[in-house]
Chain A
Amino acid sequence: MKRCFIILSAVLFLFTLVHAGEFQLDVKEYQLANGLKLLMVPRPGVPRVVCHIYYKVGSINERPGITGIAHVHEHMMFKGTKIMGVTDYEADHGLNQKIDELMKKIYREKYWKKNGDTHQIAAWEKEVEQLLKEEKKYIIKDHLWETYMKHGGTGLNASTSDEVTGYYVTLPSNKVELQMMLEADRMINAYFREFYSEKDVVMEERRLSENSPGYLFNEQVRAAFFIGSPYHWNVIGWMDDLKKMTKEDLVDFHNRYYVPNNAVAIYVGDFDAKMIISLAEKYFGPIPRGQDIEPIRTSVPAQNCEKRIYGEGPAPPQIAIWFHIPPEGDPDTYPLSLLASILSGDTGRLYKSLIKEKDMASMVSAFSRPQWYAGSFVVSARPKTEKGLKPDDLEAHLWEELEKVKKEGVTAEELQKAKNRYEASFIMSLQSPTGIASRFGRAELHRGWRSLQADLEALKKVTSDDIKAAATKYFVRNNSLTAIYRRSFGR
Chain B
Amino acid sequence: MRRKLIVALLFGLILTSLALAQIKRPEELTFPPLKFEPPDPRQFRLSLTQGLRAYLQEDHSLPLVNLQAIIHCGDLYVPKDKTGLGSLFQQTLIKGGTKTREGSVVEDRLDFLGASLNFMMGERTSILSLSILSKDLEEGLELFFDVLMNPEFREESLKIAKGRMIEQLKTANDAPSAVLSREYERLLYGEHPLTYQPTKATIDALKREDLKAFHGQYFFPRNIILAAAGDFTKKSLIDRINKYVSRWANRSLTFPSIPKSFPEVEPGVYFIQKKINQGYVSIGHLGLEDTNPDYFAVQVMNFILGGGSFTSRITSKVRSDEGLAYNTGSRFSYRWGFPGTFSGYVQTKSSTVAYAISLILKEFDRIRQELVSDAEMETAINYYLESFSNFFSSPIATMANFAELEMQGKPWDYYKTYRDKIRNVTKEKVLEVAKKYIHPEKMVIMIVGDWEPCNQGDAKFPGPLSKLGQVHEITLRDPLTGEPIK
Interface residues on A, range: 35 or more
Q: State the CA gap A413–B104 with chains docked (Å).
A: 15
Contact with A along B269-286 (1 / 0, CB 8 A): 000000111101000000
- A314: B residues at CB distance < 8 A: 174
Tell yes or no: A200 within 8 A of B by CB. Answer: yes
In the complex, what residues of A have CB within 8 A of residue B23's CB?
181
Q: Is B163 a contact partner of A362 (Cβ separation < 8 A)?
A: yes
- Closest B residue by C-beta to A279: B20
Asked if residues B393 and A427 are in contact (CB atoms below 8 Å), the reply is no
Q: Beta-carbon contacts of B6-42 to A below 8 Å, as 1s and 0s?
A: 1001101100110010011110010111101000000
Tell me if A382 counts as interface (CB < 8 A to partner B).
yes
Q: Which residues of chain A in 1-32 are interfacial with respect to chain B, using CB atoms and an 8 Å cutoff? A: 1-2, 4-5, 8, 19-21, 23
Query: Which of B319, B348, B387 contacts A152, CB < 8 Å?
Result: B387
Interface residues of B in 24-82 (CB under 8 A from A): 24-26, 29, 31-34, 36, 61-64, 66
Q: List, in ascending order, chain A residues with CB within 8 A of B348's CB.
A: 204
Inter-subunit contact B113/A154 (CB<8 Å): no
Which residues in A have their C-beta under 8 angstroms from that of B168? 362
**Does A200 contact B135, Cβ atoms closer than 8 Å?**
no
User: A150–B349 Cα gap in the complex (Å)?
Assistant: 32
User: Whose C-beta in chain A lies nearest to the C-beta of B115?
Assistant: A424
Q: Give CA–CA (A94, B31) in the complex, Å.
A: 35
Q: Check A150–B383 contact: CB distance below 8 A.
A: yes
Contact of A207 among B26, B278, B390 (CB under 8 A): B278
Min C-beta distance of A428 to chain B, whole Å? 6
**Closest A residue, CB atoms, query B395:** A45
State the CA gap A150–B319 with chains docked (Å): 20
Q: Which residues of A contact B61 (CB under 8 A)?
A: 43
Q: How far is the CB of A380 from chain B (nearest CB, A)?
A: 15
Chain B residues lying within 8 Å of A200, measured Cβ to Cβ, are 323-324
Who on chain A is nearest to B107 by CB?
Answer: A347
Per the bound structure, the CA–CA distance linking A340 and B453 in Å amounts to: 45
B319 neighbours in A (Cβ, 8 Å)? 201
* CA of A207 to CA of B277, assembled, Å: 7
Which residues of B sit under 8 angstroms from A181, Cβ to Cβ? 23, 26, 29
Among A48, A274, A359, A424, point to the contact of B113 (Cβ < 8 A): A424
Q: Are A205 and B111 in contact (CB under 8 A)?
A: no
Is B239 among interface residues, defined by CB-CB distance under 8 A? Answer: no
Checking B113, B133, B311, B326 against A201 with a beta-carbon cut-off of 8 angstroms, the contacting residue is B326
Q: B387 — which chain A residues lie within 8 A by C-beta?
A: 152-154, 172
Given A5-B6, A23-B62, A208-B347, residue A423 in contact with residue B114 (CB < 8 A): yes
Once the chains bind, are A208 and B327 in contact (CB under 8 Å)? yes
- List of A residues within 8 angstroms of B29 by Cβ: 177-178, 181
Whole-angstrom distance between the Cβ of A348 and the nearest chain B Cβ = 9
In-complex Cβ contact of B135 among A21, A213, A356, A363 (8 A):
A21
- Is the CB–CB distance between B392 and A278 below 8 Å? no
Q: From A2, A197, A199, A487, name the one whose CB has the most chain B CB atoms within 10 angstroms.
A: A197
A146 lies within 8 A of B347 (CB):
no
In the complex, what distance in Å separates the CA atom of A201 from the CA atom of B378? 28
Which residue in chain B gives the minimum CB-CB distance to A423?
B114
Decide yes or no whether B181 CB sits under 8 A from chain A: no
B86 contacts the other chain (Cβ, under 8 Å)?
no
Closest Cβ of chain B to A286, distance in Å, is 10
Contact residues in B for A175 (Cβ distance below 8 Å): 31, 386
> Separation in Å of the A416 CB from the closest CB of chain B?
7
Residues of A within 8 A of B12 (CB): 274
Q: Is the beta-carbon distance between A278 and B167 smaller than 8 angstroms?
A: no
Check: A46 CB closer than 8 A to any chain B CB: yes
Asked whether A47 lies within 8 Å of B389 as measured between CB atoms, the reply is: yes
| Distance, CA A78 to CA B315, complexed state (A) | 14
Q: Does A98 contact B (CB under 8 A)?
A: no
The 3 closest A-B pairs by CB, nearest first: A152-B386, A424-B114, A200-B323
Known: A204-B324, A385-B170. 15 other contacts (CB 8 A): A43-B61, A47-B34, A149-B308, A154-B390, A156-B309, A181-B23, A182-B26, A194-B320, A197-B323, A346-B95, A356-B156, A417-B111, A420-B112, A424-B114, A424-B115
- Ordered by A's residue number, 7 sampled pairs between the chains whose C-beta atoms are within 8 Å are A46-B392, A48-B393, A142-B316, A150-B386, A204-B347, A274-B13, A315-B174
